[in-house]
Structure 1
Amino acid sequence: MGGPLTMEGTFVRDGMALNYRIEKADPVAPWLVFGNSLMTDLSIWDEQVAALAGNWNLLRYDQRGHGRSGEPQAALDIPTLAADLLALTDFVGIERCTYVGLSMGVPTGLAAFGARAELFERLVLVDGQARSAATGRAFWEERIAFAREYGMAALAEQTVKRWLRPDRHASAQAERLRDMIAATPLEGFVACASALREYDQSAVLSRLGIPVRLIAGAEDGAMPATMKAMAGQIADAAFEALPDAGHVPNFEKPAEFNIALAAALRTPE
């Protein structure tokens, strides 16, 4: 018996090419859809795909301006990113799915649920928030200015030191993440960072009538507290903080994250 069927392609929405990859286990297998963070591409989920392929139909894609997707030339907003997600699931033929979103992928998924709740049977939200912080606009404008002046390689160097624990900054893992961030087109970063300056999907939280699992790296600043508070606004929610992990726990501590993800995906008896 063969393994999962892997397909990669491009879907065009509103003139923008979106790169996607599918690992399809079986026509009747459930779908799991992944949404990546700012400055990463679909390979950020490689360890999760390796663990889950064969039991799930898996869809990953590069958000606009990232990976092999097209490069926007103007500021984006969260509803546009959510509309990309919904259009791509339509294109693939997905009628119902579990969605796993990382960082920027969290408000993207919440906005998509707000637009079409019936698509989702479960959400797994990782190191992201429902609305921008009060300091969000100033933070992202400073990051945009830095990237324009010094380039994405310099921004990658700073970002790796923020996202990973200090004892990993010189590791091969850090080098891979640094290369991924540095490869992000400048205008792609600027367009999506602009979407993060000011957004609010918090009204969706009280409407979530499906299981929601929230996971954060325990060392990701204020994020664990923020996500724990989010969980308190959702009817069927559980929150878990992963020790010794920062902003991208699925990448930094994949074995531990995969255990938490498997628990989140388990259907109650």
Structure 2
Amino acid sequence: MQINVNGIDTRYVLSNEGGGPWLTFIHQLGGDLSIWDQLAGYFRDDFTVLRYDVRGHGQTAISDRQFSVADLSQDLRTLLDALGVQKTHIVGMSMGGMIAQQFALDNPTRIETLTLADTHAASPADGRAVWEQRAAKARDEGVAALAQATLERWLTADFRGAHPEVVEQIREVFESTSSEGYAQACFALRDFDARSRLKEIALPTLAVAGRHDAGTPPAATQEIANAIRDAQFELLDAAHLAPIEQSQRFTALLESFLQKWV
């Protein structure tokens, strides 16, 4: 389904077989809502599951200006308002985790629980140039030029060898991402920094990291958990897309976590 969100034509999908509490999933840079297909199918019997394409990704329109993570947080709020959602559980992976952190700071009363996977609260100083390089390459050569290196960061070699069909689906989505949308998101992530405010988050929080994640080291996600009071931290045997690579383990962790607060 499509809806206008802050002037951006936005795609979203609802799965609500059980008509339960709202559960919102936010995807990674260079992804779209399809990354959550398996999890949405699992949780739809007990939750009203919302997935959407972040601006400049999937079937959501490109912004006509450079945006920030705060803008992406506002997009989520506008979408929830349009759907009549008062409160939701939120799961964000990578870029989605940064949007989720910002949303928790901007709209704490709209969240039931917060799950953050393979994400950080700010780019390290030496990481800012990396975002700029990726944005430039996407604009100059197209996102397909970044695909192979990205997949090697996102998924371990063992997983890529054992599940080529999953890898190809992720590759197809990545390569179809708008180069401009990807580039604008790179600059938004470059400038994101929530470190000084994390202690303000007073929500039940689950933080999950992949042991083999070289791009966002587990310590970066654990730093978030350490800053949020009583947050739960879990380490999975995976690379950057831990909820996908270790889907059964992540699903079990998320289900157990959510059951405490439903």
TM-score by length of 1: 0.91
Amino acid at match of 1:225: A
Residue pair 2:32, 2:173 contacting (<8 A) in 1 also = yes
* 1:138 CA drift (Å): 0.1
Q: After the TM superposition, which residues 175-186 of structure 1 pair with which residues of structure 2 at under 5 Å, given as runs?
A: 175-186=168-179
Match of 1:25 in 2: 17
Match of 1:4 in 2: none
Overall identity of the aligned pairs, in %: 34
Match of 1:91 in 2: 82
Match of 1:255 in 2: 248
Amino acid at match of 1:92: L
C-alpha distance in 2, partners of 1:203/1:99? 21
Higher helix share: 2
Q: After the TM superposition, which residues 235-254 of structure 1 pair with which residues of structure 2 at under 5 Å, given as runs?
A: 235-243=229-237, 245-254=238-247
Q: 1:179 to 1:112 in 2, by over 3 A?
A: same
Between Structure 1 and Structure 2, how many residues are aligned?
259
- 1:163 pairs, out of 154, 162, 172, with 154
Q: Which consecutive unaligned segments of at least 5 residues does structure 2 have?
A: none
C-alpha distance in 2, partners of 1:250/1:146? 28
Q: Which consecutive unaligned segments of at least 5 residues does structure 1 have?
A: 1-8
Matched, 1:205 2:214: no
* 1:268 CA drift (Å): 6.1
* 1:11 CA drift (Å): 1.7
Q: After the TM superposition, which residues 81-160 of structure 1 pair with which residues of structure 2 at under 5 Å, given as runs?
A: 81-160=72-151
3-state SS in 1 of match to 2:57: coil
Amino acid at match of 1:203: S
Matched, 1:56 2:24: no
CA offset digits 1:88-136 (Å, max 9, x no partner): 1111111111100011111211211212111011100011111222123
Residue pair 2:118, 2:240 contacting (<8 A) in 1 also = yes
Q: After the TM superposition, which residues 42-53 of structure 1 pair with which residues of structure 2 at under 5 Å, given as runs?
A: 42-53=33-44
CA offset digits 1:190-231 (Å, max 9, x no partner): 111110112112233211222100001111125211111221
3-state SS in 1 of match to 2:227: coil
Match of 2:6 in 1: 14
C-alpha distance in 2, partners of 1:157/1:150? 14
TM-score by length of 2: 0.94
Match of 2:166 in 1: 173
